[in-house]
Chains A and B, each alone.
Chain A
Amino acid sequence: DAGITQSPRHKVTETGTPVTLRCHQTENHRYMYWYRQDPGHGLRLIHYSYGVKDTDKGEVSDGYSVSRSKTEDFLLTLESATSSQTSVYFCAISEGRTGELFFGEGSRLTVL
């Protein structure tokens, strides 16, 4: 199994509070991704990283920011959480630009 750890795994927060989700990998893969999964929308890419300090937006990036200061860690931040950001968030990694994608176990976020 790919060594990907997401934290926290479950979080309940209130509208307007900041939230940070962490993804930690032990595979030394260059590429890291944050997806969200919602009923009726499937899996959608939020942000991705192609190296330390190199990040770019995905298809649903509004309201989210990311940072990658080390190869092994990719952080997703919701500056001011909204109820529409209630979702299951998955981190993923790949070795190459078009390589196999491996997912973490997911983080369930509820924004009240």
Chain B
Amino acid sequence: GIQVEQSPPDLILQEGANSTLRCNFSDSVNNLQWFHQNPWGQLINLFYIPSGTKQNGRLSATTVATERYSLLYISSSQTTDSGVYFCAVGDSSYKLIFGSGTRLLVRP
């Protein structure tokens, strides 16, 4: 099956800093999504991005499907950005495979 690898596993930032999270996957996908799990455990859908670039406020994401990676950019980070960021990918099936996540801590 598809393998998903996220990096870095842990990241500590000072408020206001920018960061880039990476998701590598081992095979062709037609579904790629980024999620944020906040410290209270809620899973929030950030982007549905099997290819191309999208932006939503301070967050943006780019997927280069031909090179099998996706990047999540967080600019001007805030303490509320803390949590775990998951990348999930899928092929032609219904099933999404989740990466192990990047744990982000933004310090005030």
B86 pairs with A103, CB closer than 8 A: no
Could you list 24 A-B pairs, sorted by A, with CB under 8 Å?
Answer: A31-B94, A33-B94, A42-B100, A42-B101, A43-B86, A43-B98, A45-B95, A48-B94, A48-B95, A50-B94, A56-B94, A58-B95, A88-B41, A90-B43, A98-B31, A98-B90, A98-B94, A99-B48, A100-B48, A101-B33, A101-B35, A103-B44, A105-B42, A106-B41
Task: Number of B interface residues at 8 Å Cβ cutoff, please give it.
Answer: 21
Which residues of chain B have a CB within 8 Å of any CB of chain A?
30-31, 33, 35, 41-45, 48, 50, 86, 88, 90, 94-96, 98-101
Task: Number of A interface residues at 8 Å Cβ cutoff, please give it.
Answer: 22
Chain B residue numbers with a CB within 8 Å of A70 are none
**Contacts A42-B100, A98-B31, A101-B88; is A59 near B95 (CB within 8 Å)?**
yes
Task: Give the nearest-CB partner of A41 in chain B.
Answer: B100
Chain A residue numbers with a CB within 8 Å of B41 are 88, 105-106
14 new A-B contacts at CB < 8 Å, known A100-B45, A103-B42, A105-B42: A42-B98, A42-B99, A44-B98, A45-B95, A48-B95, A58-B95, A97-B94, A98-B31, A98-B90, A98-B94, A100-B48, A101-B35, A106-B42, A106-B43
B64 to nearest A CB, angstroms? 18
Q: How far is the CA of A100 from the CA of B98 in the complex (A)?
A: 14
